[in-house]
Structure 1
Amino acid sequence: MRRIALTVALLLAAMNVAFAWGPSGHSIIAEIARLAPLTLQHVADLPRSGASLASSASWADDERAGDKTTTRWHFADIPRTAPGYDPAGDCVLDASDGECIIAAINRQLGIVACPSLPLEPRRRALKFLVHFLSDLHQPLHAIDEEGGNCVKVTVVAQKGVNGNIPFTTSLHALWDVTLIDKTVWSWGSYVERLENSWLKIADANSVTCGTTIDWANESHQLAINIMRSVPADGVRDDDYRRVNLPVLDTQHSRAGLRLAKTLNDAFAKGDCPAGQE
């Protein structure tokens, strides 16, 4: 039985290697986004069948599986040795894989609130933005070296939830999924944690100042520390989760507040792509 459970854990870890935060993380961020009344009014018309932002927050990962030209829209390969994002080197267009998350966000912002565009491209833009503002705050989506996907770690956690059998995964998947899954049984409980702690005392104006480039650079600095701190044996234990839980809380909370600010500003302006005004 223990061998079967370990096999399942390994399979689940392998499945989650390529995605930022995993479905739970994306749903958490969408759920805590504090949208203005005008934004709520517009957003209510965009998702199909009354779907919530949280329910479609992982849609862009499914879309990437079918449309490879959106692959690089989810991250920025900023070199570990670089101080921050450089569009000339970190956002070069690849015909088959796209360019980078900064360009993708800017492009979707020119579509989502344009009243003269059909609903379908605006729906897609909304779902992309919900996802990409989340991806931008997963630190390992702002660094090169495959974002830690090739760095193997062994999770040895006796505390927390969802079992205590050791398993091997990637550093990227550890931050995508495992740290959340070892903290709560469901993403709704994580939302409650943030609403009753970090978000309760947050200064939203301070958190949401800056640009997507500033936020990418912030994630990049966190990613450098995360990559640097992997020990030779690759073991990540309960102490690692305890020390990094504040970082996890902060990045999810920042993403939720910044997603709301980004959408609120977009719908308040109602900008359109050139030629579509």
Structure 2
Amino acid sequence: MTRILVLLTALTALLVASPAGAYWEYGHQTIAQIAWANIKPTTRTRVLALLRQQALLGTPECKAGTIDDAAIWADCIKGIKNPDGTQKFGNTSAWHYQDVNICQPFDLIEACKDDNCVSAQIVRDAKILADRRAPTADRVRALVFLIHFVGDLHQPLHAGEKGDKGGNDVKADYGTYTASRLNLHSIWDGYLAERAISTRPSLVRRYPAAERGQIAAGSVTDWSRESWQVAHDATYATAVGGDPCGPTPTRAKLDNATIERLVPTVRLEVKRGGLRLTKMLDQALG
């Protein structure tokens, strides 16, 4: 009995801890797979040709030879250290998000100062990827960053927040899970996103041209504003139980009914990310 209790305790700890760091592997890879299912054959051929040059990235610790690996390369390199223990790619950390306050008018100017934000990097990478005269190493790097950053932009807490580090400072419960390390950001990165993507039918499929065109319409700024609005209307509104700009509770609680209501919202964000990545890859390479 004692051994069984020890095993159960270990499994519970694993289940509580892992999604916070693991889901966006699932999320990023799902967005990449949606794009893979919808890009033009010519685009797919050129993506593969660039990914075969993954050695030019200089990161043998972080593979990028497949679309799934490429989707998480930008997160993988966060773990690469210099000899002195500092993060080798620390300058890229700010590229994964943009701190746009959901309780103020939408404005990317301050959030994207010196292009240190996710939407500015998406535009930059798409331009480099489309430039056939650019060095191959630069285009490979632009490709893997682009695949990842389009996914980041469609996680609402990477697009909007309220002075709480994208929800990382908001302790939260997910249904019956009440781990001390759980916060609003990790819930949207992990448990909630995994629940939404795992809900049938599969999001990875070929979509009709009309639907692809409708979802992919607009600019990166338009998509940023939309994701920011989702953070306001869905992420924070449910976390605080009403006015998203009202006081944040000491610990937010997402009960099962709330989680169920949020699943379609998260699924739509993932689909948007995949089809918009489709558009950007086709424009750059197709």
TM-score w.r.t. structure 2 length? 0.77
Separation of aligned partners in 2, 1:132 and 1:105: 6
1:148 aligned onto 2:162: no
Q: Give the drift of 1:237.
A: 2.6
1:154, distance to aligned residue in structure 2 (A): 1.2
Name the amino acid aligned to 1:28: T
Pick aligned residue for 1:38 from 36, 42, 45: 42
Structure 2 unaligned segments of length 5 or more: list them.
55-63, 80-87, 241-248
Q: Who is 2:10 aligned against?
A: 4
4+ aligned runs moved over 6 Å, structure 1: none
Equivalent residue number for residue 162 of structure 1: none
Q: CA deviation at 1:199?
A: 4.6
CA distance in 1 between partners of 2:127 and 2:144 (Å): 14
In the alignment, what sits opposite 2:106? 84
**Cα distance in structure 2, aligned partners of 1:60 and 1:45:** 19
| 2:222 corresponds to 1:217 | no
Deviation (angstroms), 1:13: 5.1
3-state SS of 2:131 partner: coil
The residue aligned with 1:160 is none
Q: 1:194 to 1:13 in 2, by over 3 A?
A: closer
Change (3 A) 1:44 1:264: same
Give distance in 1, aligned partners of 2:11 and 2:208. Answer: 38
SS class of match (1:256)? helix
| TM superposition shift of 1:114 | 2.1
Contact 2:24 2:190 in 1 (8 A): yes
**Which moved further from structure 2: 207-216 or 7-16?**
7-16
1:151/1:170 contact within 8 Å kept: yes
Going from structure 1 to structure 2, the CA distance change for 1:173 and 1:119 (only over 3 Å counts) comes to: same
The equivalences for 1:216-255 within 5 A come to 216-225=224-233, 226-231=235-240, 232=249, 233-255=251-273
CA 1:28–1:183: 2 relative to 1, 3 Å: same
1:6–1:166 contact (8 Å) kept in structure 2? no
Pair 1:253–1:13, CA change in 2 (3 A): closer
Go from structure 1 to structure 2 and tell me whether the alpha carbon gap of 1:129 and 1:240 turns closer, same or farther (over 3 Å shift). Answer: same
Aligned to 2:179: 167
Residue 129 of structure 2: SS of its match in structure 1? coil
Residue 178 of structure 1: aligned partner = 191
Assess, with a 3 A threshold, how the Cα gap between structure 1 residues 63 and 195 changes in structure 2: closer, same or farther: closer
* TM-score when normalising by structure 1: 0.80
